[in-house]
Amino acid sequence: MTSSDLAEHSLGHRIKSRITRFFGPWGVFFKGFVKHPVMVGSIIPSSRYTVKKMLAPVDWGNTNLFVEYGPGIGTFCGPVLERMKGDATLLVIDTNEDFIEYLRKTFTDSRFKAVHGSAADVEDIIREHGFEHADYVLSGLPFSTLPGDLGPQIAQKTADVLRPGGAFLVYQFTAAARDFMTPHFRKIDSGYEFWNILPCKLFWGWKE
């Protein structure tokens, strides 16, 4: 192989590696959407603007357990881990095995725990990990398309599992999530993020 051949091969390898890195996570996310469309809120992960605004009200100094429902490929996981205390825990719950497998390989931080299960079982799941309450629960689950009475169950279980002063953080494309949250949270702050595909509504339900 000549030097020019070697250079061409090296360039091709670098391009292929970059393409793989770019489409790898997106491919996992798209596959998850195709397999479970009613459980995945969007075909595209949330923007960094949505992540920043959604996490802005969190009191990280008083956060020992942060729970996320439907983490997908971990769009929020990295930013949450960056902000958390050294002895805090990020516990993510997803019914999609592909997402859980991907997350376990991607996030090696000892504070990170990924569970294959349902958000409706959040109480049992956090107890299995040594906690009685969560400080914050984040969800991008599409409440309006969840099957049966799963939406109301998740909202109620979340309210039960949060400590006083904690919050349920929800981002959605519609305002349906607020209807599920209202019976359980007297104070619900709302917001909107235009720079997202699609623009989304943000809600913070505070437990008194």
Q: What is the CATH number of the domain that holds 84?
A: 3.40.50.150
* pLDDT score recorded for residue 62: 97
Domain-embedded: residue 4? no
Q: What is the pTM of this model?
A: 0.81
What is the span of the domain harbouring residue 65? Answer: 48-206
Domain-located, residue 129: yes
How much of the chain is helix, strand and coil, in % rounded to 5?
45, 25, 35
Cα 110 to Cα 98: distance, rounded to the nearest angstrom:
21
Whether 116 maps to a domain, the answer reads: yes
Domain membership of residue 81 (yes or no) is yes
Q: Which tokens sit at 135?
A: 């400080």
pLDDT tens by residue, 167-179: 999 998 888 889 9
* Residue 12 banded pLDDT, cuts 50, 70, 90: very low
State the pLDDT confidence band at 196, using cuts at 50, 70 and 90. confident
pLDDT tens track for 42-60:
446 678 999 999 999 999 9
What's the number of CA atoms in the CB half-sphere (13 Å) around residue 43? 1
Percent of the chain exceeding pLDDT 70 equals: 78
For residue 28, being part of any structural domain is answered with no
For the chain, how many structural domains are there in total? 1
Does residue 24 sit within a domain? no
